[in-house]
C-alpha cells in the first residue's frame, strides 16, 4: 500500500493534484481538498505525478 | 564506462528530466552539474513563505529525491558549466574539468536582469532568484524599512505583499500602467493594484529609476519624473535573462533561450536537430500547438515538470537506440499553469493569458472571487481566477490542439 499525507497547513486547495490522481484527490463542493489516505501500489506513478504538480509541495507519498 | 546522461542545471527541470528518464526505462549513470551549492529546491516559496519565516532555509524547500534517483546519480554542485563542444560531446566546467555525455540536458534556467542604471557599488540592492538571495533579502525586510521594488511582475508583487505584511513601507516603481499588466491584463491588473493599495503599498506607474543616493548603502532613489523616495532596500525585479552564455559558440540557436523542437531537442543555428541534446524548463524555447507555431520561453512552474517528463521519454528512447522520430513528431502541447499568492488573493491561471488582446469578467466580482477569460481574436487563450478553484480547474478541458485542416 501507499500512504498519502497532505500537509493541510500548506495546501491551498489549488486542485492540481486532482487531475493526476482523481481516484485519490478531489475538490469538494466548497472547493476544499478531500483525499483518501491509502492507495494500492499500482498508483505510485500517478501519486508521484500528483505530488510533483502540487504548487505548495504539500503532498507526501510513502510506501507503507 | 559509458558516458553519463549529463544534466547541466541542478534545479527543478533537471531533476524532473532525470526522474522522467528513469521512469521511461533509462537505468544508466546520471551526472548533475550545478552552479548553485544546493540540491534542487522549489523556488515559489522564496517570494512567499520563506521570505517571511525566519529560520526557514533549504530544508523547508528542498525537493524530495525519489528512490529511482538514489543510485547511479552523481551530484556535482557548485560547478557551473562554461562551454559545450558538440563535436566531441563534452562539457567543460569552471574548474576546467571535462564531462563527456551520452545525452546532454540543458536546464540552466534564468537569472534576474540587473539594475538598469549604474548602482555605484551601493549596498542594499537585491534581486530574487536563489535561496541565498531570499535569505539576504529576508534579513533586510525589517518592520518599518523603506522598501522600493522596481518592477511589477509576479516576483515584484509577491515580494511587495510579503514585505507589506511584515510591516515594511513598500513602493512599487514600474513602467507598466498597472501591475501584472502583461500576465493579467488591465482588468485584473487594476484590481491587484487596488488590493496592494489596501495594504498600504504605493504605486509609481509609468516610471523608472533615474538615480540612487547613499553611501555605502542606498538611502534614496530618484525616479525619472523627479520624485524622490526614501529607500533602505531596493529590489530589482524587472524580468529575467536565460543562462546560455556557456553555450555561445556551441552552434546551438541560443538567440533567446535554447531553441528546441517538439521533442525538446536542441536546434542548431544551421537548423539541424541535435538528437542527443535537450533543453527543459525556463531556458527552453519551443512552440506550443495549443496556441500557435511560434517558439516561446514560458516561465511557469508546471513546465519544468512537463518538459522534464517529455524530454525524459525521448532521452530513454534515444539512449536505448530506438527511433525517436515518431515520439518527437507526436507533438508537445502542455497547458501552462501558474498561480500566485498575494495577501488573501489566491490567483490561479491556465493558458497563455499574455497572448490575449482582451479580457472579460465572466463570473464573480473583481473585488472578491472572480474568473476572467482571455481572448486573442475569438480564441480563448487563457483563464485566470481569484478563488473559485473548481470552476477555474474545469477550464482545462477547453484548451485543445486544433484539428489539422
Ligand atoms: C522567487 C520566485 C517565485 C516564483 N513563484 C512562482 C509562482 O508562484 N508560480 C509559478 O508558476 N512560478 C513561479 N516561479 C517560476 C518557477 O519557479 C520557475 O519556472 C522554475 O523555477 C524554473 O525551473 P528551472 O529548473 O527551469 O530553472 P531554475 O530553477 O532557474 O534552475 C536553473 C539552475 O541552473 C543553474 N545554472 C545556471 N547556469 C548554470 C551553468 N552554467 N552551469 C550549471 N548550472 C547552471 C542555476 O544556478 C539554477 O540552479 C517563481 C520563480 C521565482 C524565482
Ligand atoms: S495540488 Fe497541493 S495545494 Fe493543490 S489541492 Fe492538491 S494538495 Fe492542495
Please tell me the distance between residue B212's alpha carbon and the centre of ligand 2 in angstroms.
Answer: 43
- For B333, the enclosing helix (H) or strand (E) is none
Q: What is the pLDDT of residue B404?
A: 55
Pocket test for ligand 2, best of A33, A52, A61 (most atoms within 8 A of CB): A33
Q: Where are the domains of chain A?
A: 2-63
The pLDDT, as a whole number, for residue B2 is 84
* Opening angle at CA B298, ends B254 and B207, nearest 5: 95
pLDDT of residue B331: 83
ipTM: 0.90
If you measure from the C-alpha of residue B352 to the centroid of ligand 2, how many angstroms do you get, rounded to a whole number? Answer: 22
Cβ-based contacts of A48 with chain B (< 8 Å): 66
H-run or E-run covering A51: helix A44-53
pLDDT for residue B405: 45
Whole-model pTM?
0.96
CATH of segment(s) A2-63: 3.30.70.20
| Cell numbers linked to B242 | 536565460
Question: Quick one: pLDDT at residue B403?
Answer: 61
Residues having CB closer than 6 A to ligand 2 are A 6, 11-17, 25, 33, 54-56, 58-59
Mean pLDDT, chain B cut into blocks of 10 residues (405 residues total):
93 97 96 98 95 95 93 97 98 98 98 96 97 96 95 97 96 97 95 97 97 96 98 98 97 98 97 97 97 95 96 97 92 93 92 96 96 96 94 92 62
Segment A25-50 shows an average pLDDT of 93
Q: Which of B348, B369, B383, B392 to mutate to test the interface with A (most CBs of A within 10 A)?
A: B348
Chain A from 37 to 56: CB within 8 A of any B CB: 45, 48, 51-53, 55
- Cα B148 to Cα A11: distance, rounded to the nearest angstrom: 31
Closest protein CA for atom 20 of ligand 1? B301
CB crowding B257-285: b at 16 or more within 10 Å, else e = bbbbbbbbbbbeeeeeebbbbbbbbbbbb
Q: What is the pLDDT of residue B1?
A: 62
Inter-chain touch B396–A19, beta carbons under 8 Å: yes
Task: Please say whether the beta carbons of B30 and B5 come within 8 A.
Answer: yes
Q: Does B130 contact A at CB distance below 8 Å?
A: no
Beta-carbon separation of A31 and B388 below 8 A: yes
Cβ pair A57:B301 closer than 8 A: no
* Interface test mutation site (partner A, options B23, B48, B58, B64, max chain A beta carbons within 10 A): B64
Q: Which domains does chain B have, with CATH numbers?
A: 5-111+241-329 (3.50.50.60), 114-238 (3.50.50.60), 344-399 (3.30.390.30)
Amino acid at each position: 500500500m501507499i500512504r498519502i499525507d497532505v500537509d493541510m497547513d500548506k495546501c491551498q486547495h489549488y486542485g492540481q493534484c486532482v487531475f493526476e490522481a482523481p481516484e485519490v484527490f478531489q475538490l469538494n463542493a466548497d472547493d476544499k481538498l478531500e483525499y483518501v489516505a491509502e492507495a494500492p501500489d499500482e498508483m505510485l506513478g500517478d501519486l508521484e505525478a500528483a505530488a510533483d504538480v502540487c504548487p505548495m509541495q504539500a503532498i507526501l507519498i510513502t510506501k507503507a | 564506462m559509458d558516458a553519463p546522461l549529463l544534466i547541466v542545471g541542478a534545479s527543478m527541470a533537471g531533476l524532473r528530466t532525470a526522474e522522467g528518464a528513469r521512469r521511461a526505462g533509462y537505468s544508466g549513470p546520471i551526472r548533475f552539474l550545478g552552479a548553485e551549492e544546493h540540491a534542487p529546491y522549489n523556488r515559489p516559496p522564496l517570494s512567499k513563505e520563506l521570505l517571511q519565516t525566519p529560520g526557514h532555509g533549504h530544508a523547508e524547500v528542498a525537493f524530495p529525491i525519489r528512490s529511482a534517483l538514489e543510485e547511479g546519480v552523481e551530484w556535482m554542485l557548485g560547478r557551473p558549466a562554461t562551454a559545450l563542444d558538440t563535436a566531441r560531446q563534452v562539457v567543460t566546467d569552471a574548474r576546467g574539468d571535462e564531462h563527456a555525455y551520452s545525452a546532454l540536458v540543458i536546464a540552466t534556467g534564468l537569472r534576474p536582469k540587473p539594475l538598469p542604471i549604474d548602482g555605484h557599488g551601493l549596498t542594499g540592492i537585491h534581486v530574487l532568484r536563489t535561496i541565498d538571495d531570499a535569505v539576504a533579502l529576508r534579513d533586510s525586510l525589517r518592520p518599518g524599512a523603506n522598501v522600493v521594488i522596481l518592477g511589477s511582475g509576479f516576483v515584484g508583487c509577491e515580494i511587495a505583499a510579503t514585505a507589506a505584511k511584515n510591516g515594511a513601507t513598500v513602493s512599487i516603481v514600474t513602467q507598466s500602467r498597472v501591475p501584472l499588466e502583461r500576465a493579467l491584463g488591465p482588468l485584473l491588473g487594476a484590481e491587484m493594484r487596488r488590493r496592494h493599495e489596501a495594504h498600504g503599498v504605493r504605486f509609481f506607474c509609468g516610471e523608472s529609476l533615474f538615480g540612487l543616493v547613499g553611501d555605502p548603502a542606498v538611502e534614496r532613489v530618484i525616479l525619472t519624473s523627479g520624485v524622490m523616495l526614501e529607500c533602505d532596500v531596493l529590489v530589482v525585479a524587472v524580468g529575467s535573462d536565460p543562462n546560455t552564455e556557456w553555450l555561445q559558440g556551441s552552434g546551438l540557436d541560443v538567440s533567446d533561450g535554447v531553441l528546441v523542437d517538439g521533442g525538446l531537442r536542441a536546434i542548431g543555428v544551421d537548423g539541424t536537430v541535435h538528437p542527443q541534446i535537450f533543453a527543459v524548463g525556463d531556458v527552453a524555447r519551443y512552440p506550443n500547438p495549443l496556441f500557435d507555431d511560434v517558439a516561446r520561453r514560458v516561465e511557469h512552474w508546471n513546465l519544468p515538470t512537463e518538459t522534464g517528463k517529455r524530454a525524459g521519454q525521448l532521452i530513454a528512447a534515444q539512449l536505448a537506440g530506438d527511433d525517436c522520430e515518431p515520439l518527437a513528431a507526436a507533438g508537445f502541447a502542455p497547458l501552462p499553469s501558474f498561480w500566485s499568492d498575494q495577501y488573501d488573493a489566491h490567483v490561479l491561471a491556465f493558458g497563455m493569458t499574455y497572448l490575449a488582446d482582451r479580457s472579460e469578467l465572466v463570473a464573480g466580482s473583481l473585488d472578491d472571487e472572480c474568473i476572467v477569460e482571455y481572448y486573442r481574436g475569438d480564441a480563448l487563450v487563457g483563464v485566470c481566477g481569484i478563488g473559485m478553484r473548481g470552476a477555474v480547474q474545469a477550464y482545462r478541458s477547453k484548451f485543445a490542439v486544433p484539428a489539422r485542416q
